Amino acid sequence: MITNNKGKKYKTIDKDQVKKLASLMCTYDEIGYVLGMSGENVKKRFKKVVDEGQAIGKESLRRAQFKKAVEAGDTRMLIFLGKNYLGQKDDPNSSENLEVLPWEEDK
């Protein structure tokens, strides 16, 4: 137990465990459940640690998506990443597709 300057006792919490749970994209309430405290208290005491853990989780997810798209050649993932990172889209009504193609007769 840790006592703050007002005499209130706090349960000792392992910050690495908080960060690991956050890297799995757990919510404050889920982290609190594991630690035996409320999600609000987790947010008050460990917001910075949770933010760092969630950033690590997002980085891992992004790395896995790129690996699946590029190394495994997953077409759906390539399309998803192209739309989200390159601004590509499937819009049959876009102005780029309105030009009539030339018609040529076979001679």
Q: How does pLDDT run across 28-76, given as a tens digit for each residue?
A: 999 999 999 999 999 999 999 999 999 999 999 999 999 999 999 999 9
Q: Kindly state the helix (H) or strand (E) to which residue 39 belongs, with its residue range.
A: helix 39-70
- Residues in the chain, overall count: 107
CB contact at 8 A, 80 and 45 = no
Contacts of 7 (CB under 8 A, 6+ apart): none
CB contact at 8 A, 25 and 57 = yes
| Phi, psi for 9 (deg, rounded to 5) | -95, 135
Is residue 10 predicted with pLDDT exceeding 90? Answer: no
Place of tokens 């594991």: 34
CB contact at 8 A, 44 and 11 = no
Separation between Cα atoms, residue 29 and residue 38, nearest integer Å = 6
Mean per-residue pLDDT of the chain: 87
Q: Kindly state the helix (H) or strand (E) to which residue 8 belongs, with its residue range.
A: none
Is residue 12 predicted with pLDDT exceeding 60? Answer: yes
